[in-house]
Structure formats: C-alpha cells, structure tokens
Amino acid sequence: MLARESSTTLISAVTAFIYKEARLQDEHQYEAWEALWTDDGVYWVPANGADIDPEKEMSIIYDNRSRISLRIKQLLTGKRHTQTPQSRLRRIVSNIEVLDDEQSGGDIAVASNSLVFESSLRDDTIWAARNEYRLRYVDGELRMAYKKVTLVNNEKALFTLSFLI
C-alpha cells in the first residue's frame, strides 16, 4: 500500500497520461500516440465479451508492437479511405483507478471508462468502453505496455472502427 501522499501523486500522473492519450487519439496525432507505447506494447480490443482468449479466438484488434506501428503507418499514408476524411471525435474518460501499483516488472495496472462520440461520413456513432492499462515508467515518463479496450457492445455487429479507440 502506498502512503497517502505518493498515492495521490501517482493517480495524478496516471490521470494526466490518460487525458493526454485521449486528446492525441481525438486529434489523430498518430505519431505522438504511437510514441506512448513501450517496445513490448500490446493493443487489444476483444470481440464477444471481455474474457476471450486472444490466442485462440478472434479479436477486433490484437496488435503486437510491430502491428501497432503498421496500423499507424497505414493511417499516415492519407489513403486509409475509411479515415479520409478523418472521423471527428471527442471522448470523455472517467472512473480512473490505479488497481495495482506493484505488478511484476514495475507495471502499474490502471482502469478507466470512456465514452467516445464519432462523427463520420456514415453517421454519428457512440462507443462506450472499459479500458485496462499496464503503464510503466521508462526514462522517467509513463508509457503504455498494454491497453485493452472492452467495448460494451462487442458481442454485437459493429460498424467500422478505424480511428484510435
């Protein structure tokens, strides 16, 4: 258990990190968002519930670090048609909690809820999700080693989700 003061410091740092990530996503700052990842990052958006085994079943996104990079490179071509023009986005992130601050490897387990409003050529769409992170200090800065986005409606047929969730 952390002392009250250091716990407050940690939640402030984590909250600032998560708000920054949300802003970079909303504003399509792809390279700056990619720079938030550690070298072993895993970006996971499961389908059909929260507890599937991504090594056996299909996920909407299950990117290792090199595929995160590929996804960003594709967006940066300007010819990712589903994001040309880009979705207009604003998201609210809330319920930020540090769940475990002493995981092995020094990772910090964090969770939040998010509600994303997307306006695209097709229509306006609302996305809601539980986000689970493992954050890590690298050279004094927080980085993401793991982000799992469990969409509330991930058991249903979903419209295209081509912005950064």
Partner 1 sequence: MNVMPRPSQWDDLIRPDRVHGSLYKDPAIFEAELQNIWYRTWVYVGHESEVPNANDYVIKSIGPQSIIMTRDEQGKVNLLLNRCSHRGNQVCSYDKGNARSFTCPFHSWTFANDGRLVGYAFPDGYEGADKTKLGLGRVTRVQSYRGFVFGSFAAEGATLEEHLGGAKETIDRLVRTSPEGEVEVTAGFLKHRVKANWKFVLENECDGYHPAFVHSSIFNVADSAIGTLYGGKSTAVTRDYGNGHTEIDLRPEFRKRDQPLSWFGTTAERLPDYTSQMTAAYGEKQAREIMIDGTPHVMIFPNLFIAEIQMFVIQPLAVDDSVQHVTALQFKGAPDMNRRLRQQTMGSVGPAGLLLADDSEMYERCHRGVLARNPEWIFLARGERRESTDADGFKVGHVTDEIPSRGIWRHYRSLMEAR
Choose between 17 and 44: whose C-beta lies nearer to partner 1.
44
**Least distance to partner 1 from the beta carbon of 118, Å?**
12
Number of residues counted as binding partner 1 (CB under 8 A):
36
Are the C-beta atoms of residues 114 and 22 closer than 8 Å to each other?
Answer: yes
Tokens of 97: 């909690």
Instruction: List, as own/partner pairs, every contact residues 106-111 make where C-beta atoms lie below 8 angstroms and the sequence separation is at least 24, other chains included.
Output: 106/136, 106/137, 107/134, 107/135, 107/136, 107/145, 107/146, 108/10, 108/14, 108/133, 108/134, 108/135, 108/136, 109/133, 109/134, 110/14, 110/18, 110/134, 110/135
**Least distance to partner 1 from the beta carbon of 150, Å?**
14
Residues in contact with partner 1, shown as a per-residue x/- string from 13 to 32 under the rule CB under 8 A: --------------------
Residues 88-107 within binding reach of partner 1 (CB under 8 A): none
**Least distance to partner 1 from the beta carbon of 67, Å?**
6
Residue 121 engages partner 1 in binding (rule: CB under 8 A):
yes
Residues in contact with partner 1, shown as a per-residue x/- string from 50 to 79 under the rule CB under 8 A: --x--xxxxxxxxx---x--xx-xx--xxx
Choose between 40 and 141: whose C-beta lies nearer to partner 1.
40
Dihedrals phi, psi of 90, to nearest 5 degrees: -145, 135
CA–CA separation, 106 vs 50, rounded Å?
Answer: 25
> Which residues of the chain form contacts with partner 1 (CB under 8 A)?
45, 47-48, 52, 55-63, 67, 70-71, 73-74, 77-82, 121-123, 155-162, 165
